[in-house]
Chains A and B, each alone.
Chain A
């Protein structure tokens, strides 16, 4: 029996491309602007301001960009700022898509640009629909999840335009390459699932369905019936709406998923430390992901301890997006930099 090594080449037909430095920078600006927009959007939900501007696309009957600053009060400040930022990001993506179409030689990257543009337009329309139909759960969740998806797309576009991708020559050879690449994909998938659960939790008003952290009603694994009664007693004294069993379960699932994400990130971090410590391009995103994990768990605690303070809660959403972005970036780097070899037996 002999071993035959097969090189797994990247699936993308990678033609030689030399994007301009300005196109690269513009793509990065679009990605960072999207990250800011996610914060602004998170603040809208955290402050309950989603319907503070009843009409769309106008604002209290006025064109969005002529709405007076002096009227940006209460929930309008958050919702209207969010809409304006969203328009800016949409415009940036429009420019980026056309720029890719006119200057980029790689057809697949041009297509990715158009797809990203379609996604951001759909996102804008979803935002309008969610306002005009009074924030139905499914539409609100879709709006939140699509935002994260679009963010990943902007990261991907920026990466595929980078010198690191277009000018890569030597790849890292290591027997752990395939494992690392798979780990990074799994972690990205776990974070994405966690964000979906987070969106479900937020939009089903389950954020305070469990009032202590890290335990649930004083236990690691709660007795749900007892917890429901105890939590509702506390909520009643605070004048807050009482919750149902399904809300506790949704919240609990988000915490369980957080454990899975944590295990994934710690495993990934250990693997990178163990086998790729000298490769900064892999080490730095792994370290960042680990630091973000610690920060995110801390924020989660303070979200509960502060009874869902809007700013702390929004940072928790935002760091979640950062984690997804970092994991996506690490996955892209693994794909771009690792020499992925499969061994066949004949």
Chain B
């Protein structure tokens, strides 16, 4: 390659990567916290199934309906772009919901419309997987111990609905089905991160199974990071 061609190629590469950097998409990051009294998360009683009981001999599994860190960091909050995002095709990668230790893992799962969800039975005991959506079709699938995996897909956007096991009444998780990939679930640190957002104005919403929802408007620029923090409290009393 002569020097003229080399210069052209270098210039092209420079422009290309610059453009890529400019149009990398924006990011929204932040922390979800809880303010208020934190009830103790009681130990789950699994004595009705010796297999489940045996998996927690060292330390009992605990309820997960309000897991809060020392500084109020809220775990299992689902954060997503509620308005402003386009529809995206379902990814090839499967989402995974595992029944392990007779607990659903993760406790809160976000998937895309049409994305295949692998429901695993790692436990080697009988489970039934009872999904209770309102917009998607309700189902109640038997998973005998030899049935290690079952694939399901959800065809409509819907947030949030529970999935539970009627054999083991303490087992419950929540699923969100979204038209796009812009969502995240907070971990123990309460942090979330949503990347790759095209520049624009969005409605960002946080959901928690006991604390309800809260939303804010966010404007994101290409390549920029916006920080949005949420503080949730116990919702208004029911009438």
Contacts and interface: CB of A to CB of B under 8 A. Distances in A.
A218 interface: no
A236 B234 contact: yes
B238 A228 contact: yes
Contacts of A71: 126, 144-145
A225 B218 CA distance: 38
Interface string B92-131: 0000000000000000000000000000000001101010
Given A60-B142, A77-B48, A239-B66, A51 B128 contact: yes
Contacts of A225: 239
B239 A74 contact: no
A239 B144 contact: no
Contact of B130 (A54, A60, A229, A244): A54
Chain A interface size, under 10 / 10 to 19 / 20 to 34 / 35 or more? 20 to 34
Contacts of B237: 228-229, 232
B141 interface: yes
Given A228-B239, A239-B63, A245-B239, A73 B126 contact: yes
Contact of A51 (B37, B39, B140, B239): B140
Among B41, B48, B51, B63, residue most surrounded by chain A Cβ atoms (within 10 Å): B48
Interface in A40-67: 47-55, 60-61
Contact of B39 (A55, A73, A74, A239): A239
A48 B168 CA distance: 9
Given A51-B130, A239-B65, A73 B51 contact: yes
Contact of A74 (B48, B63, B141, B238): B48
Among A71, A76, A77, A134, residue most surrounded by chain B Cβ atoms (within 10 Å): A76
A273 interface: no
A88 interface: no
A47 B141 CA distance: 19
A12 interface: no
Chain B interface size, under 10 / 10 to 19 / 20 to 34 / 35 or more? 20 to 34
Nearest to A74: B167
B188 interface: no
A134 B49 CA distance: 23
A73 B166 contact: no
Contacts of B141: 54
Contact of B166 (A60, A75, A243): A75
Nearest to A59: B142
A237 B168 contact: no
A82 to B, nearest CB: 13
A238 interface: yes
Contacts of A205: none
Contacts of A245: 239
Contacts of B145: 71
Interface string A211-243: 000000000000001001100100011110011
Contacts of B201: none
Given A239-B39, A239-B66, A50 B166 contact: yes
B169 A54 contact: no
Contacts of A229: 237
A51 B127 CA distance: 11
Given A74-B49, A239-B42, A244 B238 contact: yes
Contacts of A75: 48, 166-169
B37 A237 contact: yes
B214 interface: no
A48 B169 contact: yes
B156 interface: no
Contacts of B168: 74-75
B140 A237 contact: no
A232 B166 contact: no
Contacts of A49: 166-167, 169
Contacts of B7: none
Interface string A5-17: 0000000000000
B56 interface: no
Contact of A60 (B52, B126, B239): B126
8 contacts: A73-B48, A73-B49, A74-B167, A75-B48, A236-B234, A238-B39, A239-B210, A243-B238
Given A52-B166, A71-B144, A236-B234, 17 more contacts: A48-B169, A51-B128, A53-B128, A54-B130, A54-B142, A55-B142, A60-B142, A61-B142, A73-B48, A74-B169, A76-B126, A225-B239, A236-B210, A239-B39, A239-B65, A239-B66, A244-B239
Interface of A: 47-55, 60-61, 71, 73-77, 134, 225, 228-229, 232, 236-239, 242-245
8 cross-chain pairs, A with B, having the tightest CB-CB distances, nearest first? A52-B166, A74-B167, A54-B140, A51-B166, A73-B49, A52-B167, A74-B48, A237-B39
